[in-house]
Structure 1
Amino acid sequence: MLRRYLPILDWGRRYDRRALANDLIAAVIVTIMLIPQSLAYALLAGLPPEAGIYASIVPILLYAVFGTSRALAVGPVAVVSLMTAAAVGQVAQQGTAGYAAAALTLALLSGGMLVLMGVLRLGFVANFLSHPVIAGFITASGILIATSQLKHILGVPAEGHTLPQMLAALWMQLGQTNLITLVIGVLATGFLFWVRTNLKPFLRGLGTPPLLADILTKAGPVAAVVTTTLAVWALGLAERGVKIVGAVPQSLPPLTMPALSPDLVGQLLLPALLISVIGFVESISVAQTLAAKKRQRIDPDQELIGLGAANLGAAFTGGYPVTGGFARSVVNFDAGAETPAAGAFTALGLAIAAVALTPLVYYLPNATLAATIIVAVLGLVDLSILRKTWAYSRADFAAVAATILVTLVVGVEAGVASGVLLSVLLHLYKTSRPHVAEVGLVRGTQHFRNVNRHQVGTDPEVLTLRVDESLYFVNARFLEDLIQRRVTDGCAIRHVVLMFSAVNAVDYSALESLEAINQRLRDMGVGLHLSEVKGPVMDRLRKTHLLDELNGRVFLSQFDAWQALSPQPARQTAAQ
């Protein structure tokens, strides 16, 4: 039992020198990547830059103890940082002590919810968000994040939480653009894009060893930070209007206490729930993807506890909500991380940076951090999901398009809420109209297939309907209406067979519908029969009066029903 809640007891007892060496190498690469990212994501969340470093130390250590993924790298991520800014910005003014305290409270609530969900084994909640809707939300969030950073590239004060607000504010302030800041931002953005796509092939072409080329590529943002910081310091650009990070406390994460006033907690409960769900979905998807490559297993319920512990750690050490990041987790995996200890070593590297390196970022321009964010989040934007869903399913396309539109025009929280609602409604819509096929016998076999797709034998007196969905309150009446339309006055049908091979459950509403169908068919002189009923479904039906009152029989197979109900000439015709 203890090992279930403390996975470190499992992988820790098998830890060896080889794993240590691989974890240390991965930690070095991820630490180099995380230093500028942590500062940038804190800026995105509206918090002081050191909050990003703090949110990347204790949370990583706690996840290493409680998490099940060997490669997941926990810390601040773009989407959660944006959601934090949107949530906290509604209850406190950015830059105030109340804003930072509210961010701590948000992390505390999110962590508590995740741990509770994990203890209650509610990892399945991620299934309520369809992949197309999640892709649409992340795409819209990427656009919002990139747009929100343009003010730092231009060096203008432009506020807003929705795309129209941001664009309008940027347009109004366009004449106040600081040209020096613009040059720094454009050059940093261009350099980071070049590094991401071209530096590694360039270095490999020069004969650089693969590991060194990978480290140098991941250090690209650090190079941009160092170069632009030195330029601002040497040329005195801060005095010429270039906004800089300024003083960053030179210390380890402090012990902090979240604000727990009832009003604040009440205002942040819903945002905390949305952040928890979105963060968990993003984290579990990347964790399972990476685990599958090494045939490892991820426990979603324990992941909830691991992420919850990480957020609780952030709440008491000056951070804000965190989750598993896609980019850094992939880097961690590619760098050869063997165990969660790689995260612990990364936390140690970031702690050293927090103590020794923070004075060096005093002259770091905000435009460089904005460039780092823009380059990172544009990889999240996937507008091709619109084309793909349009070609495959118009219902999925409508859900994706609506999620993107609501997120961009109304806001992040509304976008998440609409995504959840649309996912549920989309499921209900699809299951409310289950696929019900009229089937016939494939000649020379005992198999039954859709009469509209195959050459099959049928009997005008026997109607066989294969129900391809579990029956419950949403779709029960659909089956009633379908049979009512099909069995009309004057038709030759004497038997209706419901083929239940795909029915996994029948709820009470569906049971009442089956009883109503049975009664109506009885009044019309038509028999109602069931075939291929699964064991669990039959067990439930035996507890009711349906089988006793059934105006027909229950057959083990559809072929048995066909032989029993079809006249001899019809059977011979179908067999030929």
Structure 2
Amino acid sequence: MSFKLAKYLPILDWGRRYRGETFVNDMVAALIVTIMLIPQSLAYALLAGLPPQVGLYASILPLFAYALFGTSRQLAVGPVAILSLMTAAAAAKIAATGTPQYIEAAVILAVLSGAILLLLGLFRMGFLANFLSHPVVSGFITASGIIIAASQLKHILGVNAGGHNLFEIGRALIENLPQTNLPTLYLGAGSLIFLFWVRGQLKPLLRRVGLGDKAATIIARAGPVFAVVASIWIVAGMGLADEGVRILRDVPRTLPSLGMPRFNQDLWMQLLGSAALISLIGFVESVSVSQTLAAKKRQRIDPNQELVALGAASLSAGFSSGYPVTGGLARSAVNFDAGAETPAAGAFTAIGIALATLFLTPYLYFLPQAVLAATIIVAVLSLVNITALRTVWNYSKSDFAAMAATILVTLGLGVELGVTTGVVLSLLLHLYNTSRPHFAVVGQVPGTHHFRNVDRYDVISSDSVITIRIDESLYFANARFLEDTIYDVLGKRPDLKHLILMCPAVNHIDASALESLEAINLRLRDGGVTLHLSEVKGPVMDKLKRTHFLDELTGHVYLNQYEAIQDLDAACTRAALGTADPDSGRDV
């Protein structure tokens, strides 16, 4: 009973083995992540068009929820750049940025996306993430990173410039360029230069002066904290707020209020589609991060349980005045490098964020928005991977088409249409590719029991016995193509007596494909050709046995291809000598 319960509450598993040393490691990691998470949470809230404290609120209860239900030991959940951008795009359809209705829409998105993830997890539907191919995800992240970076340039310049896609943002920036605030530009540009230097040069420098790899990594990743502290000191000391530098100002020193957002059916239905996309993207991003970290520790995660954990985290964000959250790459990497051993590190981080909200926010009054924008730009540009376009182009033109379309639509029309385009194209291309699967006429490699494509290898083949290897499962989209392929072969082989369908790659045969096989069997029988199957997998064979197909099959089902060839070649020889055995061959 306890084992089954631990499957749904992983804390019962790792909690039983929790020791003092583990507590110390988790506390150290939590302290480091908390320091990094404060400016990051504020920055991502501003990216989402929300008050800065909402980012802090979204970094408290969700961490507790994930600690209860999550299977990754090092994943750190909270606001992330991609979901912040998607939240802004969805909420902007409801109300103007910064209004109470806009904030309410963001909270509802958290509740809806959490509920969707939770339902998917309860029904064990983690496989749905597979509908987003890696090229599509990579293209979406690349395009979103470019849009996010471009959207933050207004804070670096100190101008007002909105827009929902790259072209709108670019036009607004150009139009408002003459209004650039120079002190803001100096602060923003200086922060960018510093943060890029920290990301690329600080760690090697620290290693050269004798610091250990782990410590050097943590210090380098805490670069935004140094920028925040320095910029606050500069702005406060030089009075730059009076020169037009936009600062954070007062952040409420209160913990989030708990409660369910008001229910308005029309409003919730308007946001449902956006919440579904946010759920899908958040789950894919989180699972990819957690699997990467788990592999380094030889641990494993359960994608279905991760759906439950992320759903609980996002629901708790919605119930505590936050917005959609997921596992973030940067904070999770810092959590991992800092030595976190269990999800308890996330719970300790949540306590740190709560304490910072109560006691540290007054010291952030003079924090310039330009510096927060710089931290976002540096973070998201590391996600941009233009070289992947060339790699995918060289490998698969269809995957490149889906990736390129996702990038172009995201840049030109916005994030929601971009990811929708990617998903639809991926499915359509999958259907197209599997509707024309690879079939090969194969022959026996001399001196072996192996069979290979006659067009690629020097093999032994026969005019009276031909084998077609099927390299795809058979279903409604490719059933007709199978028939056309076999009839084309039949028309070119007047001496054909036996046709073997070699099925080592067939994992499934649906009802439409079964009807095609029945039609092929009858057509070949009428043409004086016997149909055989070989190397049929057990689960497929089990399904065929529940039909009349095997009773009506003119030939036999062979365990392996070599056995089939030996048997049928012997049968053809006997037939030529007038001693054919009608019962030759073995069914399996």
Place the TM-score, normalised by the shorter chain, in its bin.
over 0.9
| Aligned-partner SS, 2:441 | strand
C-alpha contact (below 8 Å) 2:464/2:572 kept by paired residues: no
Secondary structure of the corresponding residue to residue 500 of structure 2: strand
Rate the CA distance shift 1:353–1:553 in 2: closer, same or farther, 3 A. Answer: same
Q: Are 1:304 and 2:307 an aligned pair?
A: yes
- Distance (whole Å) between structure 1 residues aligned to residue 418 and residue 236 of structure 2: 41
1:545 Cα deviation (Å)? Answer: 2.1
Match of 1:78 in 2: 81
Within the candidate set 120, 129, 136, 2:123 is matched to: 120
Tell me if 1:255 matches 2:250.
no
Q: Aligned pair in 2 of structure 1 residues 207, 559: CA closer, same or farther (>3 Å)?
A: closer
Match of residue 222 from structure 1: 225
Partners of 1:388 and 1:283 lie apart in 2 by 24
- Equivalent residue for 1:100? 103
Letter of the structure 1 residue corresponding to residue 416 of structure 2: E
Which residue does 1:22 correspond to in 2? 25
Deviation at 1:502, TM superposition (A): 1.5
The residue number in structure 1 matching 2:534 is: 531
- 1:207-252 residue CA offsets vs partner (Å, 9 max, x unmatched): 3455553443233211111211222222222222111111110122
The alpha-carbon deviation at position 551 of structure 1 amounts to: 2.4
**Structure 2 residue 320 is matched with structure 1 residue 317:** yes
Of 119, 139, 142, the match for 2:142: 139
> Which of 428, 431, 446 pairs up with 2:431?
428
Q: Structure 2 stretches of 5 or more lacking a match?
A: 575-588
CA distance in 2, matches of 1:490, 1:178: 80
Give matches, 1:105-504, under 5 Å. Answer: 105-210=108-213, 212-488=215-491, 491-504=494-507
**Whole-angstrom distance in 2 between the partners of 1:250 and 1:239:** 24
Deviating beyond 4 angstroms after TM superposition, the runs of 4 or more aligned structure 1 residues are: 209-212, 567-571
Task: Determine if the alignment matches structure 1 residue 566 to structure 2 residue 584.
Answer: no
Residue 239 to residue 257, structure 1, CA distance change in 2 (3 Å): farther
- Kept after mapping to 1: 8 A contact 2:235/2:367: yes
Query: Residue 452 of structure 2 aligns to a residue in which SS?
Result: strand
Closer/same/farther in 2, CA of residues 520 and 215 from structure 1, 3 Å limit = closer
Q: Which moved more, 1:521-530 or 1:155-164?
A: 521-530
How big is each residue's C-alpha offset from its partner over 1:45-103, in whole Å with a ceiling of 9 and x where there is no partner? 00011111111111101110111110000000000000000011111111111111111
- Please tell me whether the aligned partners of residues 40 and 370 of structure 1 are also in contact (alpha carbons under 8 angstroms): yes
Question: Structure 2 vs 1, CA of residues 570 and 286 (structure 1 numbering), >3 Å: closer, same or farther?
Answer: farther
Deviations 1:524-567 (A, max 9, x none): 22111111212221222122222222222222221222122226
**Separation in structure 2 between the aligned mates of residue 426 and residue 186 of structure 1, nearest angstrom:** 43
Q: The residue matched to 2:203 in structure 1 has which SS? A: helix
Contact 1:29 1:218 in 2 (8 A): no
Q: Secondary structure at the match of 2:382?
A: helix
Deviation at 1:465, TM superposition (A): 0.3
Q: Which whole-Å CA distance do the structure 2 matches of 1:526 and 1:130 have between them?
A: 42
Residue 48, structure 1, aligned to residue 28, structure 2: no
1:406 aligned partner, one-letter code: V
Distance 1:400 1:268 in 2: 26
Residue deviations 1:135-167, cap 9 Å, x none? 111111101100110111111111101111111
SS in structure 1 at match of 2:499: strand
CA contact (8 A) 1:104 1:257 kept: no
The 2-side partners of 1:385 and 1:139 are apart by 10
1:58 aligns with 61
Cα distance in 2 for residues equivalent to 1:389 and 1:490: 40
| Counterpart-to-counterpart distance in 2, 1:148 and 1:490 | 65
- TM-score under structure 1 length normalisation: 0.96
| Preserved CA contact (<8 Å) 1:70 1:291 | yes
Work out the CA distance in 2 between the residues paired with 1:489 and 1:66: 61
CA RMSD, Structure 1 to Structure 2 (Å): 1.6
Q: Distance in 2 between matches of 1:490 and 1:73?
A: 63
Letter in 1 for 2:5: L
TM, length-normalised to structure 2: 0.95
SS at match of 2:263: coil
1:439 aligned counterpart, secondary structure: strand
2: CA distance, partners of 1:563 / 1:336: 61
User: Which piece of structure 1 moves more, 134-143 or 220-229?
Assistant: 220-229
Cα distance change of structure 1 residues 490 and 228 upon mapping to structure 2, 3 Å threshold:
closer
**Percent identity between the two aligned chains:** 63
Post-superposition Cα deviations, 1:453-495, rounded to whole Å, max 9, x if no partner, equal: 2211000111100101110101111110111111116722222
What is the CA deviation profile of residues 419-464 of structure 1, one whole-angstrom value per residue up to 9, with x for unaligned ones? 2112222221221111111110111122211112221100011110
Residue 358 of structure 2 aligns with an amino acid whose one-letter code is V
3-state SS of the aligned residue for 1:430?
Answer: helix
